[in-house]
Structure 1
């Protein structure tokens, strides 16, 4: 499964390669409430086909109508990018289904050979964060290394957008919980990699769209070098496997590192990683353990939901209690073997 940006860019590139006229639409700014955030992409072919979205549907319908009835040359005069705004008046907001007071600014860019969509797709595939600069006066495009994330902005007639690699989830341990988490993560457009060197656990385990590795967890982590768009979750309950993954993951750029287990297991794990493997407090304090938000979960599906909710919250910058405070505070209040969630009851 592709993330939406990749789908739109690839579709626009393929339409252009098939000699179709194509316009790439980018949400550049919004005011008030808006159905889609800045940076959202949409592609429209000269035949009126669409990929992606910039609103709830009404703006898309109007854009398609313009392209089909007026032609791409009229929408983007002279083959240069054009800027449109929707929802400036109350009548427009009502007509196009925008929330009260919502305004959306769009840049419409005719796709050409110099749009460098293939180069941009390759950079994302190679997990290289890229800044794309579109000259609104000429349509010229330049690509350069950039931030992993960032809102588009216009300055001096140049639209700057940021593209980063797809978010990735590495799960240590193949089992029911990994399958449930993998299914949810794929639905959330994560790339999913499941690692388990145990042949018995891998036998019969499969999940369409996920990669299954038989490497030792530390070898996998060292090979992949988790970046700031990677989450790592240890699910095996086996310190020989979980600890190996956690040691390297906690010293990487991964935005989320977690492990399942009871509160007592979490405290013992922290002490083991500190005493035997030399991890410092700064690294240990980023470990989410027990992984997941407290929702009273008991089944693998509920536990998967709990952990994926926490992963997504951290990805989106939602402030969470410090992992160490959660682990130690709940252990003290519930007893050494207390279970804030039921993650200790289900294997990886």
Structure 2
């Protein structure tokens, strides 16, 4: 679930609570190139105010005009854009792009209240809309489930599908946690050190004061969980990494210099981790962007995290260790050339 979609649902609920009527537009099918994927949401208030996005803006404008001219539909309906080349150009769709949307009228806040309450509890929720009747049902969803539409029933999935555990409650963790929340991760921060955990104040995250290795075991990392060690304290970082590297977690990383991470890998071997497990550690964490400040380092780490999650080989952009090694080789080569000249 995109964090923007949560904003759309919340705003739509608030408008309904104020006595307004709302139309919810959901992208259900795309062909060719399209600016937004299936599941993307747009909420339109009865006076034309809008939140969310289903395109670059042209389709939104047309829906606002449609709402002003025709009012909200009585029942959910399907509309298509970009079927022909001329219409694709008109609505700013890429060449060959076609998009199908379900337009759903909403007139009371209670159904969205129920959905938002389950999302606030951290649940992954399936919302099933039957177009013929307009009836909506909520049920538990599973992480691999995505949006679907068969022409009669629209199934949308809301809630965090990925988890992130940050070891350490310092400044960098706070910045990275905010980025991860915006990327729709469920974020847990672990720090047993009272002087750090007492100052943690990032809304929307879960704070744990357990020992990191105990928490990793309790959270049972799967292929949709990431663990990042950020304390620089081997007593905390190494224990968490030791347990995380034994799991299917898709991203396990640690901050620190190349030298520190090389030493860390030697320590991890002493915990009876095999070479494949030790090699799975990403350290130094992040992609090389010349980062220096905590915010820039957080961008670097978040970028690598998203790349790995999306199945993109981050090595194409060079992780920190390889990039710095390449810079050192280049500097040595330049120095040798100058000395020889």
| Structure 1 residues 254 and 143: alpha-carbon distance in aligned structure 2, compared to 1, 3 A threshold | farther
Q: Superposition RMSD on alpha carbons, in Å?
A: 3.6
- The aligned residue for residue 287 of structure 2 is 293
Q: Distance in 2 between matches of 1:120 and 1:84?
A: 25
**Aligned partners of 2:24 and 2:147: how far apart in 1?**
15
Q: Which runs of 5+ in 1 are unaligned?
A: 340-348
Indicate whether 1:56 and 2:60 are aligned.
no
Aligned partner of 2:299 in structure 1 is 305
Question: Which of 241, 247, 250 is the equivalent residue of 2:242?
Answer: 247
Please state how far the C-alpha of 1:36 moved relative to its aligned partner: 1.3
Partner of 2:105: 110
Q: Distance in 2 between matches of 1:162 and 1:221?
A: 27
CA distance in 1 between counterparts of 2:117 and 2:274 reads 37
Q: Is the 8 A contact 1:167 1:230 kept in 2?
A: yes
Contact 1:114 1:141 in 2 (8 A): no
- 133 and 189 in structure 1: CA distance in 2 versus 1, 3 angstrom threshold: closer
Give me the whole-angstrom Cα distance separating, in 1, the residues matched to 2:120 and 2:244: 22
Residue in structure 2 matching 1:90, options 85, 91, 96? 85
The question of 1:44 aligning with 2:38 is answered no
Decide whether aligned partners of structure 1 residues 289 and 67 sit closer, same or farther in structure 2, where only a CA change above 3 A counts.
same
Determine the structure 1 residue equivalent to 2:130.
135
- Cα deviation digits, residues 189-245 of structure 1 (max 9, x gap): 555544333345568776677666554333544565556554321112211010232
Q: How far is the alpha carbon of 1:105 from its aligned partner?
A: 0.8
Aligned to 2:29: 29
Contact 1:197 1:214 (8 Å CA) reproduced: yes
State the shift of 1:298 in Å. 4.2
Closer, same or farther in 2 for the Cα pair 1:25/1:229, shift >3 Å? farther
Q: Distance in 1 between matches of 2:12 and 2:169?
A: 37
Q: Unmatched 5+ residue regions in structure 2? A: 330-341
Distance 2:71 2:229 in 1: 53
Change in Cα spacing, 1:253 to 1:188, as seen in structure 2 (3 Å) is same
Q: What TM-score do you get using the length of structure 2 for normalisation?
A: 0.78
Q: How many residues align?
A: 325
Q: What is the CA deviation profile of residues 255-279 of structure 1, one whole-angstrom value per residue up to 9, with x for unaligned ones?
A: 3221023334334433433433x44
Contact 1:115 1:141 in 2 (8 A): no
Call closer, same or farther: CA 1:297–1:20 in 2, change over 3 Å.
Answer: closer
Matches of 2:113 and 2:147, distance apart in 1: 20
Deviation at 1:7, TM superposition (A): 1.4
Deviation at 1:287, TM superposition (A): 2.4
Shift of 1:107: 0.5
Which residue number corresponds to residue 155 of structure 2? Answer: 160
Find the counterpart in structure 1 of residue 142 from structure 2: 147
CA contact (8 A) 2:166 2:189 kept: yes
Q: 1:149 touches 1:164 (CA, 8 Å); kept in 2?
A: no
